[in-house]
Amino acid sequence: MNEDSTIDPVKQYKARLSALIDKRPSGTRQRIADALGKHRSFVTQILSTAYATPLPAKHVPVIFSVCHFNAEEKRQFLEDYHAAHPEKREEMDGDTVLRHMSMMVIDFRDEEKNRQFDEAIADFAHRMAAIMVKVG
């Protein structure tokens, strides 16, 4: 982490994450948006230091999975992330491994309805996984 305490810790981890993603192939931000069930503008908000929107802890494993960060990249990012959000340390499991799942669903022929549906399914899957981790 940067020793300069005047740097906003959220901006610190966002800058690191954005730099890491910039090293990935073209289209990575869109793949992140697709994996999260969100619009690309949401990804812009959680990655850009220009926006105060923090990165939700539940999205960190998804980003790690999509971007294939190595152990050192994960460690550095998590160090910055936990400095900004120490209260999130307990709810994050740095060893979470994700698998891809796809399914065929109805196309509502309406971009907004499709987006809402996709977000609801992604949110449901994340919630169910969180329950299973707590139970198991």
Per-residue pLDDT reduced to its tens digit, 15-67: 999 999 999 999 999 999 888 878 899 999 999 999 989 999 888 988 998 89
Residue corresponding to tokens 């196309």: 107
CB contact at 8 A, 13 and 39: no
Position 23 scores a pLDDT of: 93
Biggest alpha carbon–alpha carbon distance for the chain:
51
The rounded distance, in Å, linking the Cα atoms of 67 and 49 is 19
Q: CA quadruple 77, 78, 79, 80: dihedral positive or negative?
A: positive
Helix (H, G, I), strand (E, B) or coil at 9: helix
More confident residue, 61 or 77: 77
Total residue length of the chain: 136
Mean pLDDT over 114-132 rounds to: 82
User: Residue 4: pLDDT above 80?
Assistant: no
Position 93 scores a pLDDT of: 57
Q: CA quadruple 85, 40, 17, 72: dihedral positive or negative?
A: positive
Position 106 scores a pLDDT of: 94
The rounded distance, in Å, linking the Cα atoms of 91 and 99 is 19
Helix (H, G, I), strand (E, B) or coil at 124: helix
Position 1 scores a pLDDT of: 47
Q: pLDDT tens for residues 91-120?
A: 665 566 777 778 899 999 999 999 889 888
Position 61 scores a pLDDT of: 86
pLDDT-based confidence at residue 2 (cuts at 50, 70, 90): very low
